[in-house]
């Protein structure tokens, strides 16, 4: 298991799949494009889930569960939505040996189901807002798949909310984008760009789609979360009306927002290195691994067990007492991205100290046992800060301003992949032309606009927005 | 919403569905047999899930996630298993507009997927035991459905374990049945009978199926959880072998075990009354609801908010400051089964006290505010004990010993539904005959055997076991 992995430089894609396999995050199954999430990978997801869920609850959201099937007629109710999703859904046609009277698709997303439910339960302004969220799996019949990043089935959460007015729904869309951005930065130590998707790139059925975009080690962008404002489009299609305070019937305004198990892919490609995974402490299934050195010597095993008992009230701790050599164990937990390794041997015990080793830097420190908890806490905090800073530096170093299509081509050729900042007239034709000529597509119109120049990078006409462009996962 | 519900006596089935709807646990969807679990119902499930999950983790189990689809050829690998499940699975035949080269069923249970994975990851005795669990939804194409009790899609957990020998696997099967039984008794306040299913009633592919059976208000039995021992049957079908310490190749021995959202149905029918739901405190989304009385009077709203702030560090608390009348609120939270209602009004404030009302008995007590936490804690404990005792009395009162088929018929006719204890020769023909003549089927061979007499209730030949019989949900 602790064979060497392909280096990032040599073959980034292979480095990625090596980590996925060798850190025991995921396994393939005989169902093409569907994954087995192994205990270690699932534990990362459980931590992501629990920390996000408490943020959703703190912002007033409630969890529900909707059916996994959508009748074909229900999917068809909103025109843009069905056009976007029908080509990539899995269809159930038989129950047992009987053909169904109507095909059911396995949910690719659940707007239609939430809308149907909202039409039933919303009558008055007193019923608003509805702030629902669901944790579940969804299915999209992708042609090409990659572990965590693009699979036919994936785990996610989908928030679906209904509001009395546009203003409140827009505020919700923005609030949840902020929740995602803060989560990525504070918990996953991954800086993101917040922005709006262009018209051509928005969710099927949305008035506006907002996204957070992160920068991976290899210069490719990764969309880490999206938040959509629907206006009253779905409400009109599904007839979701409420009587307001003046007893007038009005359509609700809606939003939806989601993040998926691809966040695990983002963690790998933001923080990993040639020794394997590097996990942000808050989502690491094991924060400190204790490895006894010369464990056969008197008192070592006992001391290691004592330290475990001490630490586990504050940290997620594992003590490895297996027969493998310390060196083998060091490599194994490096591969698995455990933030801190604690080594304890006879000499350490004699000196009332232990060794703490940071996963990201490999830095060793001798720590007096009476200061162990405080030092471990400090190191975890420093590691989180360091990997964030490193990821931020990567994002900054790989962001280039360009004033022409030729400059984009030249930059990509000389510097490699990254974010290209460039001005844009707002015309879809220019967006397409840039993509065709350079290979990078629009990522988002960032909230933090810069006035690079006043002309569109493509047609030279007056620019409306600065856009981020890039190749994306 | 707080209209009256049908009384239990009048129409038990309607009483049940009234509670499901009016306590806002569940809503129907346009997908026949699939349910929308509403926030209040889902919060009950989240509590069940979190308390069970920690018991699984404490017994060494790890969570994973397997694909939701099973290729037809994989489902067919174990003969008994496919025979049991194929008639009731939903088949996916198309991905987008393309027909699939092989049909996929939506998992009705995941033995086949776990087996395929275990065949990949188990090589040596060092890889054993594998103690995996999964929380997910499964689909079984039932003809008739009832909210929570029998639906085409339901939420559950499924444990799947692999062991080096039969003895260890059997011990696991028994251990997990105990975990379920203890959970039902300690957390859901619901006594259960532990036993073994007869041959005709065991899980498709199992060597032995164990179950816990509970008694509902109406005298019907409810199977609340099952735990299966597979021997090496699946291991042979899926070729799951490991090399033991002597380097000999052996098949693993396996188990699986599960409980579902039907536990919510069991809670309703174990503890509910004609005023609605009664929730066991440990799974109640709201343990204490605070209702200000004469809330417009000076200081009442503030005091209510202060009590909420005080209580919520120890309890799940809701303060209802809506415009509805106190009487309306009382009825609403009775319907929702909130264990304790706290009333606070001007006179209470003047006397530094409040009123606590128990949901199960309606008993009121005046509680000095300086003893509030301790009294609330005590009342919650007493309520849990009382509803357990009440359910236990129901189980005992509705359990009858019978020595002949005629006596079974007479007992059911005179006393109504319940558990019938009777001796059995072990012959399937007798099991079938009793069912046909009396309408009750075998529930389980209880671990606690009694020697009622030495003859089979049906054929009069020597008896092998005492069996529990009953009508079941």
pLDDT tens-digit series, residues B123-143: 999 999 999 999 999 999 998
Smallest Cβ–Cβ distance between B63 and the set A39, A65, A104 belongs to A39
- Selection from A376, A365, A265 nearest residue A313 by Cα: A376
Tell me: pLDDT of B122 over 90: yes
> With an 8 Å Cβ cutoff, is A92 touching chain B?
yes
Q: Is the domain of B117 the same as that of B203?
A: yes
pLDDT tens-digit series, residues A9-61: 999 999 999 999 999 999 999 888 999 999 999 999 999 999 999 999 999 99
What is the reported pLDDT for B2? Answer: 52
DSSP state of B83: H
Please give, one letter per residue, the 3-state secondary structure of B176-217: HHHHHHHHHHHCCCCCCEEEECCHHHCCCCCCEEEEEEEECC
What is the reported pLDDT for B455? Answer: 96
- Are A155 and B66 within 8 A, CB to CB? no
- Selection from B455, B16, B132, B68 nearest residue A38 by Cα: B132
For this complex, say whether ipTM is above 0.85.
Answer: yes
Phi/psi for A385 (5° steps) reads -65, -45
Q: Is the domain of A358 the same as that of A412?
A: no
In chain B, residues with a C-beta closer than 8 Å to the C-beta of A120 are 27
Q: Report yes or no on A389 lying in a domain.
A: no
> With an 8 Å Cβ cutoff, is B380 touching chain A?
no
What is the reported pLDDT for A142? Answer: 92
A234 DSSP β-pair partners: none
**CA-CA distances (angstroms) from residue B80 to B115, B163, B226, B291, B322?**
15, 21, 18, 56, 57
- Selection from A48, A50, A62 nearest residue A134 by Cα: A62
- Find the closest chain B residue to A34 by CA distance: B67
pLDDT tens-digit series, residues A246-304: 999 999 999 999 999 999 999 999 999 999 999 999 999 999 999 999 999 999 999 99
Q: Is the domain of B355 the same as that of B259?
A: no
Instruction: Work out the number of other CB atoms within 10 angstroms of the CB of residue A355.
Output: 17
What is the three-class DSSP state of A354? Answer: strand
Query: In total, how many domains does chain B have?
Result: 3
Q: Is the domain of A149 the same as that of A31?
A: yes
- Are B116 and A30 within 8 A, CB to CB? yes
Tell me: pLDDT of B386 over 70: yes
**CA-CA distances (angstroms) from residue A283 to A67, A330, B209?**
29, 20, 38
What is the reported pLDDT for B4? Answer: 82
- Are A117 and B46 within 8 A, CB to CB? no
- The whole-angstrom distance between A357's CA and the closest CA on chain B is 27
- Are A153 and B31 within 8 A, CB to CB? no
Smallest Cβ–Cβ distance between A87 and the set B42, B91, B96 belongs to B96
- Are B117 and A36 within 8 A, CB to CB? yes
Three-point CA angle A439, A443, A444, nearest 5°: 145
- Find the closest chain B residue to A70 by CA distance: B31
- The whole-angstrom distance between A11's CA and the closest CA on chain B is 26
User: Exposed e or buried b for every residue in A268-286, given b needs 16+ CB within 10 A?
Assistant: bbbbbbebbbbbbbbbbbb
> With an 8 Å Cβ cutoff, is A46 touching chain B?
yes
The average pLDDT across A176-205 equals 97
- The whole-angstrom distance between B38's CA and the closest CA on chain A is 5
What is the reported pLDDT for A1? Answer: 47
d(CA A69, CA A89): 11
What is the reported pLDDT for A244? Answer: 97
Mutation for testing the B interface, residue in A40, A56, A64, A83 having most B CBs under 10 Å: A64
- Are B62 and A43 within 8 A, CB to CB? yes
pLDDT tens-digit series, residues B261-318: 999 999 999 999 999 999 999 999 999 999 999 999 999 999 999 999 999 999 999 9
Residue pair A469/A442 in contact (Cβ under 8 Å)? The answer is yes
Q: Is the domain of A327 the same as that of A430?
A: no
CATH number, residue A459: 3.30.110.30
What is the reported pLDDT for B35? Answer: 94
Smallest Cβ–Cβ distance between B120 and the set A27, A31, A95 belongs to A27
Domain end marker among A220, A246, A271: A271
Instruction: Kindly give, in sequence order, each residue whose CB lies less than 8 Å from that of residue A389, ignoring residues fewer than 6 positions away.
Output: none
Tell me: pLDDT of B1 over 80: no
Largest CA distance in chain A: 81
The average pLDDT across B331-357 equals 97
Mutation for testing the A interface, residue in B29, B35, B88, B145 having most A CBs under 10 Å: B29
- The whole-angstrom distance between B452's CA and the closest CA on chain A is 43
d(CA A85, CA A303): 58
> With an 8 Å Cβ cutoff, is B74 touching chain A?
yes
- The whole-angstrom distance between A245's CA and the closest CA on chain B is 15
How many CA atoms, within 13 angstroms, populate the side-chain half-sphere of residue B134?
A: 25
Q: Report yes or no on A183 lying in a domain.
A: yes
- Are A88 and B96 within 8 A, CB to CB? yes
Q: Report yes or no on A281 lying in a domain.
A: no
Range 107-126 of A in CB contact (< 8 A) with B? 113, 116-117, 120-121
- Are A29 and B96 within 8 A, CB to CB? no
Strands A253-260 and A221-231, by their bridges, are: antiparallel
pLDDT interval class at A4 (50, 70, 90) = confident
What is the three-class DSSP state of A196? Answer: strand
Instruction: Kindly give, in sequence order, each residue whose CB lies less than 8 Å from that of residue A368, ignoring residues fewer than 6 positions away.
Output: A352, A353
pTM: 0.97
- Are A106 and B104 within 8 A, CB to CB? no
- The whole-angstrom distance between B300's CA and the closest CA on chain A is 24
Mutation for testing the B interface, residue in A31, A122, A136, A324 having most B CBs under 10 Å: A31
Q: Report yes or no on A388 lying in a domain.
A: no
Which helix (H) or strand (E) element contains residue A75?
helix A72-75
In chain A, residues with a C-beta closer than 8 Å to the C-beta of B111 are none
Angle between helices B262-271 and B372-397 in degrees, nearest 10: 90
Q: Is the domain of A127 the same as that of A231?
A: yes
Q: Is the domain of A328 the same as that of A372?
A: yes
pLDDT tens-digit series, residues B440-456: 999 999 999 999 999 99
Mutation for testing the A interface, residue in B21, B35, B36, B129 having most A CBs under 10 Å: B36
- Are B104 and A90 within 8 A, CB to CB? yes
What is the reported pLDDT for A234? Answer: 97
pLDDT tens-digit series, residues B165-217: 999 999 999 999 999 999 999 999 999 999 999 999 999 999 999 999 999 99
Q: Report yes or no on A3 lying in a domain.
A: no
Residue pair B398/B419 in contact (Cβ under 8 Å)? The answer is yes
- Are A90 and B94 within 8 A, CB to CB? yes
The average pLDDT across A440-464 equals 97
Mind giving me the DSSP string for B319-342?
A: E--SSS-HHHHHHHHHHTT-SEEE
Instruction: Work out the number of other CB atoms within 10 angstroms of the CB of residue A163.
Output: 21
Q: Report yes or no on A277 lying in a domain.
A: no
Domain end marker among A212, A244, A271: A271
In chain A, residues with a C-beta closer than 8 Å to the C-beta of B153 are 67-69
> With an 8 Å Cβ cutoff, is A136 touching chain B?
yes
Q: Is the domain of B50 the same as that of B147?
A: yes
Smallest Cβ–Cβ distance between A42 and the set B65, B137, B155 belongs to B65
- The average confidence (pLDDT) of chain B is 96
Q: How many residues does chain B have?
A: 473
> With an 8 Å Cβ cutoff, is B449 touching chain A?
no
- Selection from A251, A276, A200 nearest residue A5 by Cα: A276
Cβ-Cβ contacts under 8 Å between A and B: the total is 150
What is the three-class DSSP state of B169? Answer: helix
Mind giving me the DSSP string for A217-229?
A: TTS-EEEEEEEEE
- Are B93 and A93 within 8 A, CB to CB? yes
In chain A, residues with a C-beta closer than 8 Å to the C-beta of B74 are 30
- Are B104 and A88 within 8 A, CB to CB? no
Instruction: Work out the number of other CB atoms within 10 angstroms of the CB of residue B16.
Output: 25
- Are B89 and A66 within 8 A, CB to CB? no
Tell me: pLDDT of B3 over 80: no
What is the reported pLDDT for A30? Answer: 87
What is the three-class DSSP state of A322? Answer: coil
Question: Which residue segment(s) compose the domain that A415 sits in?
Answer: 399-470
In chain B, residues with a C-beta closer than 8 Å to the C-beta of A137 are 65, 68, 136
d(CA A80, CA B410): 64
Instruction: Work out the number of other CB atoms within 10 angstroms of the CB of residue B298.
Output: 10
> With an 8 Å Cβ cutoff, is B104 touching chain A?
yes
Q: Is the domain of A186 the same as that of A301?
A: no
In chain A, residues with a C-beta closer than 8 Å to the C-beta of B45 are 65
Q: Is the domain of B263 the same as that of B323?
A: no
Tell me: pLDDT of A3 over 80: no
Q: Is the domain of B365 the same as that of B409?
A: no
What is the three-class DSSP state of A461? Answer: coil
Residue pair B369/B353 in contact (Cβ under 8 Å)? The answer is yes
pLDDT tens-digit series, residues B67-120: 999 999 999 999 898 999 989 999 999 999 999 999 999 999 999 999 999 999
CATH number, residue A240: 3.30.930.10
**CA-CA distances (angstroms) from residue A225 to A158, A456, B170?**
11, 28, 45
- Are B90 and A91 within 8 A, CB to CB? no
Domain end marker among B271, B298, B331: B271
Q: Report yes or no on B219 lying in a domain.
A: yes
Tell me: pLDDT of A2 over 60: no
Q: Report yes or no on A431 lying in a domain.
A: yes
A455 DSSP β-pair partners: A462
- Are B93 and A97 within 8 A, CB to CB? no
CATH number, residue A298: 3.40.50.800
pLDDT interval class at A137 (50, 70, 90) = very high
What is the reported pLDDT for B30? Answer: 87
Angle between helices A262-271 and A12-22 in degrees, nearest 10: 110
Smallest Cβ–Cβ distance between A29 and the set B45, B67, B93 belongs to B67
Tell me: pLDDT of A143 over 70: yes
Q: Is the domain of A409 the same as that of A448?
A: yes
In chain A, residues with a C-beta closer than 8 Å to the C-beta of B90 are 69, 92, 94-95, 104
In chain B, residues with a C-beta closer than 8 Å to the C-beta of A94 are 90-91, 93
- Are A34 and B69 within 8 A, CB to CB? yes
Mind giving me the DSSP string for B252-316?
A: -EEEEEEEETHHHHHHHHHH-BTTB----GGG-S-SEEEEESSTTSTTHHHHHHHHHHHHTTTS-
The average pLDDT across A369-395 equals 98
């Amino acid at each position: 298991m602790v064979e060497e992995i392909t280096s990032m430089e040599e073959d980034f894609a292979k480095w990625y799949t090596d980590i996925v396999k060798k850190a025991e995050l995921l396994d393939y199954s005989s169902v093409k494009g569907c994954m087995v999430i192994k205990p270690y990978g699932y534990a990362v997801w459980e931590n992501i889930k629990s920390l996000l869920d408490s943020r959703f609850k703190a912002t007033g959201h409630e969890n529900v569960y909707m059916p996994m099937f959508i009748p074909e007629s229900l999917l068809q109710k909103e025109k843009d939505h069905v056009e976007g999703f029908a080509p990539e859904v899995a269809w159930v046609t038989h129950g047992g040996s009987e053909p169904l009277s109507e095909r059911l698709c396995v949910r690719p997303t659940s707007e239609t189901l939430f809308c149907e439910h909202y039409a039933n339960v919303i009558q008055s302004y007193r019923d608003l807002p509805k702030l629902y969220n669901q944790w579940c799996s969804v299915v999209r019949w992708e042609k090409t798949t990659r572990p965590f990043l693009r699979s036919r089935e994936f785990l996610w959460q989908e928030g679906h909310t209904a509001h009395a007015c546009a203003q409140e729904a827009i505020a919700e869309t923005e609030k949840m984008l902020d929740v995602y951005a803060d989560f990525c930065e504070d918990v996953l130590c991954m800086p993101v760009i917040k922005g709006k998707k262009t018209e051509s790139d928005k969710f099927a059925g949305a008035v506006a789609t907002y996204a957070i975009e992160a920068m991976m080690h290899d210069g490719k962008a990764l969309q880490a979360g999206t938040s959509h404002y629907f206006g009253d489009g779905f409400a009109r299609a599904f007839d979701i009306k409420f009587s307001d305070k003046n007893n007038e019937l009005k359509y609700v305004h809606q939003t939806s927002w989601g993040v998926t198990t691809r966040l695990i892919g983002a963690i790998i490609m933001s923080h990993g290195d040639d020794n394997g995974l590097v996990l942000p402490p808050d989502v690491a299934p094991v924060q400190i691994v204790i490895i006894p050195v010369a464990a056969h010597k008197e008192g070592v095993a006992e001391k290691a067990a004592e330290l475990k008992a001490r630490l586990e009230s504050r940290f997620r701790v594992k003590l490895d007492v297996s027969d493998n050599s310390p060196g083998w164990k060091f490599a194994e937990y490096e591969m698995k991205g455990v933030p801190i390794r604690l080594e304890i041997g006879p000499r350490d015990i004699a000196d009332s100290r232990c060794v703490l080793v940071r996963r990201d830097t490999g830095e060793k420190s001798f720590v007096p046992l009476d200061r162990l908890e405080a030092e471990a806490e400090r190191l975890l905090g420093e590691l989180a800060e360091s990997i964030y800073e490193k990821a931020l530096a990567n994002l900054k170093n790989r962001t280039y301003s360009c004033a022409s299509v030729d400059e984009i081509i030249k930059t990509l050729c000389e510097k490699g992949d990254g974010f290209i900042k460039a001005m844009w007239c707002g015309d879809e034709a220019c967006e397409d032309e840039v993509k065709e000529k350079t290979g990078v597509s629009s990522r988002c119109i960032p909230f933090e606009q810069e006035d690079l120049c006043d002309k569109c990078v493509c047609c030279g006409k007056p620019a409306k927005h600065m856009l981020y462009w890039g190749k994306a996962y």
